[in-house]
Structure 1
Amino acid sequence: MVRFKNRWLLVEFLPISAGLNTHALEEITSKHIWAALKHSVITHFGNNGWGAVGSSLTIKYFSPRTNLCIIRVARDPHKIAWASVTLMATIDGRKVIPHVVHVSGTIKQAQLAAIRHNREVVARYRARAKTPVGYQDSYEQFLQTSVQEIEALPD
């Protein structure tokens, strides 16, 4: 028996907005991301590209709080999906810059990469604020909540 082999893309969508509105993607759902990704695949790779990717493409996780998304796609056409994510400019009319953080063969590795990425982002914010190492702030709660959300994903 041959199992279905996947690739898991961990993508961060960086919103482009006027001002410091960091919650620009709060109303975005995984359905919006899937539709935008479908549009990108068809635009850049045509119906053949969508035929290769479409049957296996799934948005497994999206957090509007962290703007992280985990996308599942079949192993063979995963480069088409990767390129299409990179070429996306908008999601539901909101301008974004997609950043593929990690590509893995299992969802567990994508989850671990997402947790690691969140910790790195928080460390950068703390370094900018010049906070001491043992300082307790709202980022601790943020990290705990995001870890719980990511680890709750079914395998």
Structure 2
Amino acid sequence: MVRLKNRYLLVNILYPELEDRQGRAKVPDVVEFNQPTTDAFTAGSLLKGLRAEIASMFGDYGSGAVAESMTVKYLSSATSTFILRVSRAHYRIAWAALSLMTSVPVKDGEGKNCVFRVVRVSGTIRKAEEEAIRRARELILKARREIGEKSNSTLDDIFGGATEGNIRPENTKEKDILMVDRSDSEEENEDDSDGDG
């Protein structure tokens, strides 16, 4: 029996065009740059937009190469983060298409201008999860440092009262923070290397 090998791409959606801030509370640039994505952004619309981009860049070859293996394993509109699973042989096709996408593909309308940044390529979904959690914590701490301690109430409103020492409740495990489809239990034992082994 042949084991299918996949790669998991952890992707952040960034919004480099800052909106007009008049009449709103001062929000740190790091938060504005990493703002939440619209709720109309779904896994289906992401796959549809990504497949269209792959077809325009790589034609029938690219579409056929990733057709069976490409799925969204995790999608968070709140953190503008998703984990995409693609076969190991063709993950660079998906990565290239993501790098050239310029707007969030949403149903019934044009999405906002954005940048899709692949921040981690992993052989296991567990490593991608750990990186997503680490980056979320880092973003909270960076925003806290940027706004300073004098305006702590604004960040409490944004992040729901998390403090630097206690980012998550005591009774919450890391697995509860990031809920991911774990139907690929075989891949958890793979290493992160790009080798053929």
TM-score range, shorter chain: 0.7 to 0.9
Q: Does 1:101 align with 2:123?
A: no
Secondary structure at the counterpart of residue 56 of structure 2: helix
Structure 1 residue 64 corresponds to structure 2 residue 81: no
Offset of residue 120 of structure 1: 1.2
CA shift digits 1:83-108 (9 cap, x unpaired)? 11111112222122111111100000
User: Is 1:50 the counterpart of 2:68 in the alignment?
Assistant: no
State the match for 1:19 in structure 2.
Answer: 20
Would you identify which runs of 4 or more consecutive aligned residues in structure 1 move more than 4 Å?
none
Of residues 122, 133, 145, the one that matches 2:140 is 122
Displacement after TM superposition at 1:19 (Å): 3.2
Identity rate, percent:
33
- Structure 1 residue identity aligned to 2:178: I
Q: Given that residues 11 and 120 in structure 2 are in contact (C-alpha distance below 8 angstroms), is that contact kept between their aligned partners in structure 1? A: yes
Letter in 2 for 1:12: N
The answer as to 2:8 corresponding to 1:8 is yes
User: Normalization by structure 1: what TM-score?
Assistant: 0.85
Q: C-alpha separation between the residues in 2 aligned to 1:107 and 1:67?
A: 18
Report the counterpart of residue 25 of structure 2 in structure 1. Answer: none
80-89 or 23-32: which moved more?
23-32
Relative to structure 1, is the Cα distance of residues 59 and 139 closer, same or farther in structure 2, using a 3 angstrom cutoff? farther
Q: Which residue identity is paired with 2:12?
A: E
* Contact 1:6-1:105 within 8 A present in 2 as well: yes
Tell me by how many angstroms 1:32 deviates. Answer: 1.0
Residues of 2 paired with 1:152 and 1:70: CA distance? 9
* Partner in structure 2 of residue 140 of structure 1: 162
**Structure 1 unmatched runs, 5+:** none
Return the alpha-carbon distance in structure 2 between the equivalents of residues 47 and 18 of structure 1. 38
Is the contact between residue 122 and residue 139 of structure 1 (CA under 8 Å) also seen in structure 2?
A: no
Q: CA RMSD in A?
A: 2.5
Offset from partner CA, 1:48-103 (integer Å, 9 cap, x none): 01111111000111101000000000000010011111111122221221111111
> 1: CA distance between counterparts of 2:144 and 2:48?
35
Residue 23 of structure 1: how far off its partner (Å) = 3.8
Q: What are the ranges of 5 or more consecutive residues in structure 2 without an aligned counterpart? A: 22-31, 186-197
Give 1 or 2: higher strand fraction: 1
Of structures 1 and 2, the larger Rg is shown by: 2
Amino acid aligned to 1:14:
L
Q: Distance in 2 between matches of 1:30 and 1:107?
A: 17
How many residues of Structure 1 are paired with residues of Structure 2 in the alignment? Answer: 151
Q: Tell me the residue number matched to 1:37.
A: 50
TM-score by length of 2: 0.68
